């Protein structure tokens, strides 16, 4: 076992039961505390999974914040919240880290319900400053002296909301914006703002000189402070001529930095200066992502988010099998060799969406726009209007941010943009902020949109190829889950099974002699349907329809119409959906069948979907059980 992963017996960290305890630690012991935090992070995160590199980089910064501010009164907001693990350790939750990202355990993001120290939930990027402005403005209206501290990764500046919020920052707010610059969001940051930060980084000598002069002037009796005010105007003019102004000062905000964000003393000094300044302030810190853990420092992108540790047979199983994301990336790269106008767009997720092979093969046709999903979609619409064939690779949970752009910029103009929607369905480890359960419902509202969900990686590849072969005629969305194939599902719908590809669906029965109960579903949740069928006392009386073409579904309705008009039609239909009930596929199909068929022809229709919930998983319960769409729930409907 390497030094980095050796379990430790900490001397200081376990004694911290509340953030106020951090203030009482002697200065000479703080390096030891930071070392213990890093060792604990590596031990726990490599075991439980989670975001490692980003948290290793903010250890000193977070310790300094808790030494200067009080998180029960001041408001500390992290953007994105995956860099809040150290904050959780320092606010009484260190002994809960074995439950990190597990059902009923610690969330991987700040969570208001979890702790009063978590001021605001931030599972998506670029939201923190807008929220922070709300906190700070409310305190100003209430006459409070509380501070709002926003810890903002530089990658979040690629999102437009940050700049919208900066445009509304007022200098009289007790707001401190800390830029944690590590030149990374997940992939390396791109864009003009990253270049602006690079220019600001070249000016540390100016900051040191400025600080020294201010201290000297302040200690001169009688004339010191007036002289400092007089010099301030001259200083600004000289600074403007020598260095130029910067983005934040042009917004009317005080700017401190850049400074070494991994130097605890330096960070604490700047925080106290900002606090004493009693006005809105920007502190610019340069940190090292993965600090203190050599593998993460060498490859921060690979250590951005780790899966839970696997051992034995689990670790060896299917290691050579491609994930859905990898299959998408490889297939798209192959298709790009046949289509010179095919291009890929991602919002800071080259690794997550499997686009690294495409980026290497066709760097001029890969566009990483940063954490700017709305821009990604409208940018794709512009490319499409000029005759290119853009493919937008995006997580389901982030696609929500671009709903207006899909409607107004793509669909209204009938532009055939392709959306490849990763992480579809419930994502237990990251929790509600990352569940992909809303996209089917809102995309079905979009005129002209086609929606597919292939049941395995082979079908994903075949579908991508088929869509390219047919040409580009309308917007299309292909959604798929994280990870690899469900082997049960793949075996159940193997090539020798009956299927109806013409209707965009598969079935495990003869449509001419349907069983008495049909389960209609799509996505990996179909595996739960198969398990329920196998556990049922009369499995031959149950048939499963896998719906690959989710929308439009006229062909599927006609197919079901024919089955239900037979002499011995099914008596029960069970719709099963790993998505929200209201407005989802199950509800739409159920209503459509009721409109098509006379009341006397309608079977008993049941629906299992996520009902009015963000689906917060409870302890010792699988995520499908929490949503009541698991095999046991299906079996109950079969038996009653």
Residue 195 has pLDDT above 80, yes or no: no
Least confident of 169-183, 208-222, 223-237, 306-320: 223-237
- More confident of the two residues 211 and 618: 618
- Per-residue confidence at 613, pLDDT binned at 50, 70, 90? confident
Q: Contact at 8 Å (CB) between 581 and 628?
A: no
Strand partners, 542: 517
**Among 19-28, 69-78, 223-232, 246-255, whose mean pLDDT is lowest?**
223-232
| pLDDT at residue 547 tops 50 | yes
pLDDT at 3: 43
Domains and CATH numbers, the chain: 3-203+251-298 (3.40.50.970), 204-242 (no CATH), 324-479 (3.40.50.970), 496-639 (3.40.50.920)
Contact 176, 281 (CB under 8 A): yes
Closest by alpha carbon to 435, among 273, 579, 638? 579
Model pLDDT, residue 581: 94
Mean pLDDT value across the chain:
87
Is residue 238 pLDDT above 80, yes or no? no
Structure tokens at 208: 């040191």
92 within 8 A of 115, measured Cβ to Cβ: yes
Active site residues: 289, 373, 401
SS3 376: helix
Per-residue model confidence (pLDDT) at position 134: 95
CB atoms within 10 A of CB 47: 16
* Structure confidence by residue, pLDDT tens digits, 552-582: 999 999 989 989 988 889 999 999 999 999 9
| 168's tokens | 């509304």
Average pLDDT value for residue range 252-263 = 91
Predicted confidence (pLDDT) at residue 143 exceeds the cutoff of 70: yes
Which of 425 and 307 is assigned the larger pLDDT? 425
Average pLDDT over residues 340-361: 96
pLDDT at 612: 81
Q: Label residue 213 by pLDDT band (50, 70, 90).
A: low
pLDDT at 232 over 70: no
pLDDT of residue 2: 44
Q: Are 376 and 401 in contact (CB under 8 A)?
A: no
pLDDT band at 620 (very low <50, low <70, confident <90, very high): confident
Both tokens of 550, joined, read 């989710």
- pLDDT > 70 in the chain, percent: 86
How far is 36 from 30, CA to CA, in rounded Å?
10
For 435-456, how does the pLDDT look when each residue is reduced to its tens digit (9 = 90+)? 999 999 999 999 999 999 999 9
Give per-residue pLDDT as tens, 75-97. Answer: 999 998 899 999 999 999 999 99
pLDDT in tens, 516-533: 999 999 999 999 999 999
Distance, CA of 177 to CA of 18 (rounded, Å): 24
For residue 618, the model assigns a pLDDT of 78
Say what percent of the chain tops pLDDT 90: 63
Query: Is the CB of residue 493 less than 8 Å from the CB of residue 455?
Result: yes
- 7 pLDDT band, cuts 50/70/90, is very low
Q: Does 215 have pLDDT greater than 70? A: no
pLDDT of residue 493: 85
**How many angstroms separate the CA atoms of 470 and 489, rounded?**
28
Given a cut of 90, whether residue 225 has pLDDT beyond it is no
Residue 240 banded pLDDT, cuts 50, 70, 90:
very low
Q: In what order do the strands lie in the sheet with 604-610?
A: 499-500, 505-507, 542-547, 517-521, 572-580, 604-610
99-113, 267-281, 370-384 — which is least confidently predicted? 99-113
Query: Which range has the top average pLDDT, 188-197, 312-321, 509-518?
Result: 509-518
| Confidence band for 241, pLDDT divided at 50, 70 and 90 | very low
Q: Which of 245-249, 322-326, 593-597 has the lowest mean pLDDT?
A: 245-249
Q: Which residue has the higher pLDDT, 205 or 615?
A: 615
Q: 311: how many CB neighbours lie within 10 A of its CB?
A: 7
Stretch 183-196: mean pLDDT: 52
CA-closest candidate to residue 421, choices 492, 352, 511, 337: 352
């Amino acid at each position: 076992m390497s030094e980095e992963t050796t379990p430790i017996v900490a001397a200081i960290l376990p004694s911290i039961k509340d953030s106020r305890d951090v203030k009482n630690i002697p200065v000479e012991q703080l390096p030891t505390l930071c070392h213990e935090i890093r060792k604990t992070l590596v031990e726990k995160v490599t075991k439980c999974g989670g975001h490692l590199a980003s948290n290793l980089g903010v250890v000193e910064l977070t310790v300094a914040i808790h030494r200067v501010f009080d998180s029960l009164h001041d408001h500390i907001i992290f953007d994105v919240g995956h860099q809040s693990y150290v904050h959780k350790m320092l606010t009484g939750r260190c002994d809960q880290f074995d439950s990190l990202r597990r059902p009923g355990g610690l969330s991987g993001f700040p969570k208001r319900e979890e702790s009063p120290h978590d001021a605001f939930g931030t599972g998506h990027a670029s939201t923190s400053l807008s929220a922070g402005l709300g906190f700070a403005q409310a305190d100003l209206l209430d006459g409070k002296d509380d501070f709002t501290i926003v810890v903002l990764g530089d990658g979040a500046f690629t999102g437009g909301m940050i700049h919208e919020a900066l445009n509304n920052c007022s200098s009289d707010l007790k707001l401190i914006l800390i830029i944690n610059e590590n030149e990374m969001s997940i992939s390396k940051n791109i864009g003009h703002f990253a270049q602006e930060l690079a220019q600001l980084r070249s000016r540390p000598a100016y900051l040191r000189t400025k600080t020294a002069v201010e201290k000297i002037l302040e200690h001169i009796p009688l004339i010191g402070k007036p002289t400092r005010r007089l010099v301030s105007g001259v200083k600004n003019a000289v600074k403007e001529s020598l260095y130029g102004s910067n983005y934040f000062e042009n917004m009317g905000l005080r700017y401190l930095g850049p400074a070494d964000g991994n130097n605890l003393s330096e960070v604490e000094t700047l925080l106290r200066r900002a606090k004493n300044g009693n006005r809105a302030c920007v502190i610019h810190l340069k940190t090292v992502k993965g600090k203190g853990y050599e593998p993460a420092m060498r490859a921060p992108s690979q250590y951005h988010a780790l899966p839970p540790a696997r051992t034995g047979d689990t670790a060896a199983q299917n290691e050579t099998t491609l994930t859905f994301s990898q299959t998408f990336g490889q297939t798209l790269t192959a298709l790009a060799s046949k289509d010179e106008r095919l291009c890929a767009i991602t919002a800071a997720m080259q690794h997550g969406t499997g686009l690294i092979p495409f980026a290497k093969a066709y760097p001029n046709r890969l566009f990483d726009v940063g954490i700017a999903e709305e821009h990604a979609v409208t940018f794709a619409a512009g490319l499409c209007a000029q005759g290119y064939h853009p493919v937008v690779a995006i997580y389901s949970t982030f696609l929500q941010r671009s709903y207006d752009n899909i409607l107004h910029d793509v669909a209204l103009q009938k532009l055939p943009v392709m959306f490849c929607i990763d992480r579809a369905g419930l994502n237990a480890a990251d929790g509600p902020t990352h569940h992909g359960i809303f996209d089917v419902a809102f995309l079905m509202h979009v005129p002209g949109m086609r929606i597919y969900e292939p049941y395995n990686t082979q079908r994903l590849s075949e579908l991508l190829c088929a869509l390219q072969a047919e040409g580009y005629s309308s917007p299309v969305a292909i959604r798929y889950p994280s990870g690899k194939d469900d082997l049960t599902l793949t075996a159940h719908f193997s090539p020798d099974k009956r299927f109806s590809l013409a209707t965009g669906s598969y079935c495990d029965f003869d449509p001419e002699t349907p069983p008495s109960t049909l389960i209609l579903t799509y996505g990996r949740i179909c595996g739960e349907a198969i398990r329920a069928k196998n556990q049922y006392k009369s499995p031959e009386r149950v048939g499963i329809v896998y719906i690959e073409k989710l929308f439009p579904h006229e062909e599927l309705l006609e197919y079901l119409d024919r089955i239900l008009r037979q002499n011995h039609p099914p008596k029960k239909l069970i719709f099963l959906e790993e998505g929200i009930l209201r407005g989802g596929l199950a509800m739409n199909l159920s209503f459509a069948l009721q409109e098509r068929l006379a009341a006397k022809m309608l079977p008993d229709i049941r629906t299992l979907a996520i009902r009015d919930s963000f689906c917060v998983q409870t302890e010792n319960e699988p995520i499908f059980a929490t949503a009541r769409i698991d095999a046991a729930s299906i079996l109950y409907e079969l038996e009653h």
